[in-house]
Structure formats: C-alpha cells, structure tokens
C-alpha cells in the first residue's frame, strides 16, 4: 500500500536555510583572508627591454638605471620615492698656469620624496695643493622636481635649485633644467642647462651646458660613455666678456653589487681658460 507523506509548510520553510548553510557555509561566504605565510605578490617593476636596468620601477615608472647617478657633470630626473643614497666624491682639478691642483671632497645625502621631489644635502671640503688641512668649508642644499612621470614628457624635464653657503666667500645660487632619457636599448643620455650666480663680491655668473652619453656593456654591472661640459663665466666688472671653459672626456661606471656604484670621469680642458684636467671619483650606496 503506497502512502504519500506531506511535510507541513512550516517545517519545509525552516529546512531551507539549514540546507543553504550546508551547501554554502558561512566561511565560504566571507572574503578570503590573506595568509601571513604567503603574502600577496606586489609588482614593483615593468619589463620594457632585455636589460634589467631599464625595467620600470617605483611610483614614477622610471628606469632602474636612473636610481643611481650615471654622469659626473650631468644630473637626470629624481630619485624613486622613498629611497635614499649616500655619495662620496673626490675631485682633483689641475690648472694650466703652473700645474697647481685644487682637491675637493664632497659628501652628499640624497632623499627621494613623494610627488616627484628630491632633496640633497652636501658637505664640501677644499684644499689647494698640499697646504693646510682639508676641512669642510661649504654646505649646499638642493631641491629637484620632475614635471611628470617618466616618459610622459619628452626628455623628462626636471627643475633643479641649489643654494651653497661658503666660508669667507659669497653664497652661490644655482638653477638647472635637467633632461635625460634612453636612445635605444642600452644607450642612456642626459643634458643640463645651468645658471649659477654669486650673491656678493664680483657677482660672478656662470652659464653652462653639460651632456653625457653612456652605453651599457654588462647589464647592471658596467657602462662606458663620454661627457662634456661647456661654461661661459663673467662678472659685474665687465658683463659679456666671458671666460670660456670646455672639458671633455670618457666616463665609466661599475656596480659591484646592486646597491653600490663607482664612477670615474677624467675630463680634459680644450680651451685656454679651461683647467688642464678634472678627475671625478665617486662612490655611492643606495639605502
């Protein structure tokens, strides 16, 4: 004998939420939580060439090579946001009029700030020949601002302002317009337009153009290139009567480890007003 069983409507209504809980437990309805042992992957760079030093990094999507100074006389762009670097400079310069040498030692601290800003602090010491102790006698403060993220404007223009306070001498103020970029894979360039003014004394003005070109031979390890600096200098006693200095020479960069770079740039004067030679030795460490 067949019997038909009919569940009361109230019991059927109660059973539906229970079934839903069995099929879709509450844990499956919540958003997944991150596992501290397997944190989410954060993409920090974008590959655009076969060279790792040309990978785009940071919030401005700039090439990795721009996070290290590449040229002795020419600046390019700004540091990536949230990074810092210390640099030690040794710069002997020999004059043509008797072979005297002035040696400059410079300690530089660079800080990458948000919104494409950078500040640099310098401590500088000078020594003429072998006379006297090499004591810190100059302090400089520099601020930069890039006008846009990398490659949004041709040449990646960056504004540079610097103030130099010198012991027993007038202060100097300097403004630059920085340019830089990539001229094909492994080729990097920079160029600066510079105006420097002495705030007292003879009120000397300097008008400069600098440029550099480098070729990467070993990715993130070794680059070679050339640099040039041309300067026209006058003072208030005879504006427009310029002394002309032109220096040109090779440059080299070696990166023994990812955080460090060693730069060597021997430049040689090619005009009567130029120094005989200017050698820049630089060691930088990025934090």
* pLDDT tens digits, one per residue of 80-120: 999 999 999 999 999 987 678 999 999 999 999 999 999 99
Q: What secondary structure letter does DSSP report for 64?
A: G
Local structure of 151: helix, strand or coil: coil
The per-residue b/e assignment along 18-47, b for 16 or more CB within 10 angstroms, e otherwise, is eeeeeeeeeeeeeeeeeeeeeeeeeeeeee
Task: Write down the pLDDT at residue 28.
Answer: 40
* Pair 70, 249: CB distance under 8 Å: no
Parallel, antiparallel or unpaired: strands 158-166 and 187-198: unpaired
Q: What secondary structure letter does DSSP report for 55?
A: S
Mind listing the pLDDT tens digit for each residue in 127-167? Answer: 987 777 788 999 999 999 999 999 999 999 999 999 999 99
Task: Write down the pLDDT at residue 98.
Answer: 67
Q: Is the pLDDT of residue 209 over 60?
A: yes
Mind listing the pLDDT tens digit for each residue in 48-85? Answer: 789 999 999 999 999 999 999 999 999 999 999 999 99
Q: What residues contact residue 182 under an 8 Å CB cut-off, 6+ apart?
A: 54, 63, 188, 189
Task: Write down the pLDDT at residue 13.
Answer: 44
**Average pLDDT for the chain:** 87
CA distances to 131, 186, 247, 260 from 223, rounded to whole Å, are 36, 9, 20, 14
Give me the domains of the chain, ranges plus CATH numbers.
46-286 (2.40.160.40)
pLDDT > 70: what percent of the chain? Answer: 83
CA distances to 126, 193, 217 from 260, rounded to whole Å, are 25, 28, 17
**Dist. CA 286–CA 265, nearest whole Å:** 20
The Cβ of residue 183 has, within 10 Å, a number of other Cβ atoms equal to: 11
Minimal CA–CA distance to 284: which of 22, 25, 83, 4?
A: 83
In this predicted structure, which of 31-45, 54-68, 185-199 has the lowest mean pLDDT? Answer: 31-45
Residue 45 banded pLDDT, cuts 50, 70, 90: low
Structure tokens at 66: 């721009």
* pTM reported for the whole predicted model: 0.82
Task: Write down the pLDDT at residue 228.
Answer: 98
């Amino acid at each position: 004998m067949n019997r038909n069983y009919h569940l009361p409507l109230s019991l059927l209504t109660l059973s539906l939420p229970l079934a839903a809980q069995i099929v879709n437990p509450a844990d499956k309805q919540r958003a997944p939580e991150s596992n501290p042992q397997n944190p989410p992957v954060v993409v920090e760079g974008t590959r655009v060439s076969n060279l790792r030093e040309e990978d785009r990094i940071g919030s401005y999507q700039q090439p990795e090579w721009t996070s290290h100074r590449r040229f002795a006389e020419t600046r390019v762009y700004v540091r990536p946001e949230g990074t810092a670097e210390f640099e030690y400079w040794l710069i002997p310069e020999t004059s043509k009029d008797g072979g005297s040498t002035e040696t400059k030692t410079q300690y530089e601290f660079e800080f990458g700030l948000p919104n494409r800003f950078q500040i640099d602090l310098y401590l500088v010491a000078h020594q003429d020949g072998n006379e006297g102790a090499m004591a810190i006698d100059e302090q400089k403060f520099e601020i930069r601002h890039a006008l846009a993220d990398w490659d949004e404007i041709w040449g990646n223009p960056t504004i540079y302002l610097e103030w130099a306070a010198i012991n027993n001498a007038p202060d100097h103020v300097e403004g630059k317009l920085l340019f830089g970029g990539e001229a094909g894979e492994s080729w990097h360039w920079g160029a600066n337009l510079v105006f420097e003014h002495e705030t007292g004394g003879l009120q000397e003005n300097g008008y400069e153009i600098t440029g550099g070109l480098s070729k990467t031979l070993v990715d993130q390890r070794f680059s070679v290139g050339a640099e040039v600096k041309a300067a026209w200098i006058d003072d208030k006693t005879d504006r427009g009567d310029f002394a002309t200095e032109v220096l040109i020479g090779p440059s080299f960069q070696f990166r023994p480890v990812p955080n460090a770079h060693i730069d060597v740039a021997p430049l040689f004067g090619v005009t009567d007003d130029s120094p005989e030679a200017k050698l820049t030795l630089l060691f930088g460490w990025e934090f």
